Amino acid sequence: MGRRRYAFRVAGFGIAFFPTKPSVEYMHQLMTTLGSLALAGLVLLASGCGGEKAANVDLNAQLTALSGDSDAKINALAEISKLGAAAASAVPKITPLLKDEDDVVRRTAAFTLGAIGPAAKSAVPDLKEMLKTTDRDQLTAVGNALQAIDPKAVDGLKIQNVSN
């Protein structure tokens, strides 16, 4: 049995039969992590990891949607990410979203720039600016984007494990 699976079972048993503070705290931490993983999975699924062809994405329509509300921006970014490097012309319109007021928009914009890859190199300074946070999800999204865009940009970069 895997270590995490065992830990999950032990913590679940602890809450069910011995509702102590440590077991409740561990389950909270575990569920928070699982929630982050679920969000990442949803973004990956929306970005086309299911094998959907990117040729069906209308880049101009998605760029227009970037001026909508947060949900419209997130959906448009997920669609744009399906295009990968073919969406290089969208980088100047995506980069300002790294400073959006909505944290999910910021993280999805970072993810999309990472999906575009080296063609999004002009966004590296703005991505590095986003590293000045304690939001673990944002740090992960930015670190992955920087790695995909320019692996040298993350040389020597240390991201501390920040607790919520």
Delimit the domains of the chain by residue range: 1-46, 59-164
Residues 50-62: tens digit of each pLDDT = 544 445 899 999 9
DSSP code string of 77-124: HHHHHTTGGGGGGGHHHHGGGGG-SSHHHHHHHHHHHHHHGGGGGGGH
pLDDT tier for residue 37 given thresholds of 50, 70 and 90 = low
CB 91 within 8 A of CB 122: yes
Count CA atoms within 13 Å of residue 86 on its CB side: 13
Q: What is the pTM of this model?
A: 0.65
Between these two residues, 7 and 82, which has the higher pLDDT value? 82
pLDDT tier for residue 134 given thresholds of 50, 70 and 90 = confident
What average pLDDT is seen over the chain? 77
Helices 136-149 & 103-116 angle (0-180, nearest 10): 20
Between these two residues, 49 and 63, which has the higher pLDDT value? 63
